[in-house]
Every structure is written in structure tokens, then in C-alpha cells.
Amino acid sequence: MTISVGEKMPSGTLMTLGEGAPEPVATDEFFSGRKVVLFGLPGAFTPTCSAQHVPSYVENHTALAAKGVDAVGCMSVNDLFVMGAWGKDQQVGNKVTMLADGSAMYTKALGLELDLTERGMGVRCTRFAIVVDDGTVSAVHVEDNPGGIEKTGALAILDIL
């Protein structure tokens, strides 16, 4: 079952690459006391994700902050080293926190998994964006077209904030 507006974000641990070392990110802490946009996508270095989705959040960081967003997280079912390298490639700096969900455990807890096994990619997360206010979901958007960012890109989220 997909997470819904009004629900608390599930507890879990994601990973990020800190100063060259793995760092766990407790979701309870990540979402606590602030407004966060968490967007998920099928995979690092994939065409739409690299050319459109992540850049939309990097380019609109200031506009999101002006609307009260304290943090933006990008989650994918990739390992933390891939997410770290992808963040460097995308020049996210401190604008987007690259969050690895290597075993898809958090993705499954959100009910947002996408089975791409037949395409050789295994279980991934679907393309989504969730607005979280102090740990509680205030908006959930899932793309109908997995290759598009009409509902989940930064411009779409800016429209609902």
C-alpha cells in the first residue's frame, strides 16, 4: 500500500556518502522538525533521472527554500557509492542529499517499489515526490509515465507548496 497524505513517514535507515565514508541517515531524524521534499527515481545515471529529474531540484533549490523547504532528498535503489558519485556528477553540492536505499527496504516501506527485473534492473523505486512536514506526509505524487517528471519534478512541487 502506497503511503498517503496524513501518514507518518516510516522509520528506517538510508545511507549517504559523507566525507568519503558511509553515513547512516535515520529517517526519523531526517524528517523531524522541518519541511522536506523526498523524491525517488528508478536509478542513478539513467537518462531521465540524470538529464531532468535531479537537475530540476538543483536548479530550483532557491525557489524551494523560499517556499519553506528545508531539505531535499533524492532516493534511489542504488548503493551509497553510486549515489555519492552521481551526486558529484550532478553537482548537487548541499542542495540535494543523495540517499541510497540499496536493498529497497525503505522503498518497500513506502509502497513505491517498481519491479524492473524483466529489464535487468531488479526492484527499484518508482518515480515519486513526497512533501513531508515534521515527519508527516502532506503530499504524494507518483508519475503515471515512468519516463516523465510532470508530477514529481521540482516545478510540479513548487506549484503545490
User: What residues are labeled active site?
Assistant: 49
**By C-alpha distance, which of 161, 156, 136 is closest to 57?**
156
Strands 128-133 and 136-142: antiparallel
Return the SS3 of 151: coil
Single-letter amino acid code for the residue at 149 = I
Identify the three-state secondary structure at position 116: strand
Are 38 and 25 within 8 A, CB to CB?
A: no
Counted residue by residue, the chain has a size of 161
Contact 44, 75 (CB under 8 A): no
